[in-house]
């Protein structure tokens, strides 16, 4: 099988037909008009992955409120996923509601470039955040020994949605930034005319600026 590199931010998510615990689905068409997060895990019945799936499920309603779906993936067969989901329900009392891709031949993982050469056939802990147009907006890449922070993934979806809707940028640690708190950043002026418009907006108290190139506002 020819190895492929991971897609890039700003590229279209590749068209894929996948087998999941919820039946066959086509990506990204399954989430047409919605955001979705695809996350891969090294394997079923592994400790860190189990904690991650419970954490994703606990925040599933929060993702749904953002019009954002979830879908997992690993190089396991569908019966393994089903048994693992049943084990989580029986032993941890969490029902995994989102589908999990069964990629036992590794074709999906290979297309997404998430099989690390040094890790055998296991997928890495990758995260793809995809917008309603099927465009990859963000990616995260974790080592096997480090579980993901699901709250950060939620924050990223919220921030990307806000940036898309309002044409703004999101500061570090938003919405608890050390300098501008929960404000968002107005993109820097790209011309003298825009610079003058920023100054007028600042005079009207529509925005606040530390300098003409570093302006922020409430949303």
Of residues 143 and 126, which shows the higher confidence score? 126
Give the pLDDT score at 143. Answer: 87
Averaged over 201-207, what is the pLDDT?
A: 94
Out of 13-27, 47-61, 189-203, pick the least confident. 189-203
Confidence of residue 74 (pLDDT cuts 50, 70, 90): very high
Does residue 166 have a pLDDT over 80? yes
**pLDDT exceeds 80 at position 3:** no
Residue 176 and residue 34: Cα distance in Å, rounded? 27
Closest to 105 in 3D by CA, of 73, 72, 77, 144: 77
Q: Taking residues 70-74, what's their average pLDDT?
A: 97
Domain made up of 16-148: CATH architecture = 3-Layer(aba) Sandwich (3.40)
Q: What is the pLDDT of residue 4?
A: 58
Q: Which residues of 35-57 are buried (b: 16+ CB within 10 A; e: fewer)?
A: bbbbbbbbbbeeebbbebbebbb
For 191-219, what is the mean pLDDT? 93
Per-residue confidence band for 118, with pLDDT thresholds at 50, 70 and 90: low
pLDDT of residue 148: 97
Question: Which pLDDT belongs to residue 139?
Answer: 97
Catalytic residue among 49, 68, 209, 215: 49
CATH number for the 167-219 domain, one of 3.90.550.10, 3.30.390.10, 3.30.1020.10, 3.40.50.2300? 3.30.1020.10
Mean pLDDT (the chain, rounded): 94
What's the pLDDT at 215? Answer: 95
Per-residue pLDDT reduced to its tens digit, 35-51: 999 999 999 999 999 99
Q: Where are the domains of the chain?
A: 16-148, 167-219
- Whether residue 49 lies in the annotated active site: yes
């Amino acid at each position: 099988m020819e190895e492929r590199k991971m897609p890039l931010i700003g590229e279209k998510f590749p068209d894929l037909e996948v087998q999941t615990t919820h039946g066959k689905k086509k990506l990204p068409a399954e989430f047409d008009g919605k955001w979705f997060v695809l996350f891969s895990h090294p394997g079923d019945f592994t400790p860190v992955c189990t904690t991650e799936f419970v954490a994703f499920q606990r925040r599933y309603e929060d993702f749904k409120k953002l019009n954002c779906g979830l879908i997992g993936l690993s190089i396991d067969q569908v019966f393994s996923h089903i048994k693992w989901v049943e084990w989580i329900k029986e032993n941890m009392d969490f029902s995994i509601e989102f589908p999990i891709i069964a990629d036992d031949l590794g074709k999906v993982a290979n297309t997404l470039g998430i099989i690390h050469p040094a890790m055998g056939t296991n997928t890495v802990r990758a995260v793809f955040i995809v917008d309603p147009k099927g465009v990859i907006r963000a990616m995260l890449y974790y080592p096997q020994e480090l579980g993901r922070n699901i709250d950060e993934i939620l924050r990223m979806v919220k921030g990307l949605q806000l940036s898309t809707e309002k044409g703004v940028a999101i500061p570090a640690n938003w919405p608890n930034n050390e300098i501008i708190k929960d404000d968002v950043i107005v993109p820097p002026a790209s011309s003298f005319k825009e610079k003058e418009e920023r100054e007028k907006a600042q005079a009207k108290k529509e925005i606040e600026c530390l300098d003409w190139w570093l302006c922020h506002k409430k949303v």
